[in-house]
């Protein structure tokens, strides 16, 4: 396994008066050869991850190491319903955890998650930032 994550551009800050605390970052993720652009929309109450240019929110199933994307819509009775819920082929849960690490640290250097250098505890990949081992659990 090898996952590479790199921040793509400066954060975009929402200028509207009702959402001035919203920041958008985009990360290029190469997960075992497949490329994705993951957006992180952060605000005072948390963050939402998505795929650039697509509707929906990403969520992970760590047990199966998969990522899915759901799209919400307003239902007929003014409730919220799930319009779609689909697996994102080729994107692993470890990629999402790596993006969260990069975003929380404000990291601009490339992050690599790999099992190739040494085995870590708890069945986790080794996390490298500029070839220096970093503790993933410290930030997640």
Does residue 90 fall inside a structural domain? yes
Does residue 122 fall inside a structural domain? no
At 102-134, the pLDDT tens digits run 998 888 889 998 875 555 555 677 888 877 777
Does residue 21 fall inside a structural domain? yes
pLDDT, position 38: 96
> What are the residues whose beta carbons fall under 8 Å from the beta carbon of 93, sequence distance 6 or more?
60, 61, 62, 64, 65, 66, 67
pLDDT, position 17: 47
Provide the residue range defining the domain that includes 24. 7-105
Domain total of the chain = 1
Please state the pTM of the whole predicted model.
Answer: 0.80
Does residue 137 fall inside a structural domain? no
Does residue 140 fall inside a structural domain? no
| Out of 10-24, 34-48, 77-91, 122-136, least confident range | 10-24
> Exposed, middle or buried: residue 108 (CB in 10 Å: 0-12, 13-18, 19+)?
exposed
At 15-33, the pLDDT tens digits run 554 555 677 899 999 999 9
Does residue 130 fall inside a structural domain? no
């Amino acid at each position: 396994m090898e996952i590479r994550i790199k921040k793509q551009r400066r954060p975009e800050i929402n200028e509207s008066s009702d959402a001035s605390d919203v920041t958008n970052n985009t990360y290029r993720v190469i997960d075992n050869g497949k490329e994705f652009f993951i957006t992180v929309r952060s605000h005072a109450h948390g963050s939402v991850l998505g795929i650039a240019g697509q509707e929906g929110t990403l969520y992970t199933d760590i047990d199966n190491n998969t990522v899915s994307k759901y799209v919400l819509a307003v239902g007929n009775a003014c409730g919220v319903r799930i319009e779609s819920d689909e697996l994102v082929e080729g994107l692993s849960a470890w990629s999402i955890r790596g993006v969260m690490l990069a975003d929380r640290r404000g990291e601009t250097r490339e992050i690599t998650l790999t099992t190739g250098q040494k085995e870590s505890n708890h069945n986790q990949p080794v996390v490298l930032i500029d070839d220096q081992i970093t503790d993933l659990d410290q930030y997640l």
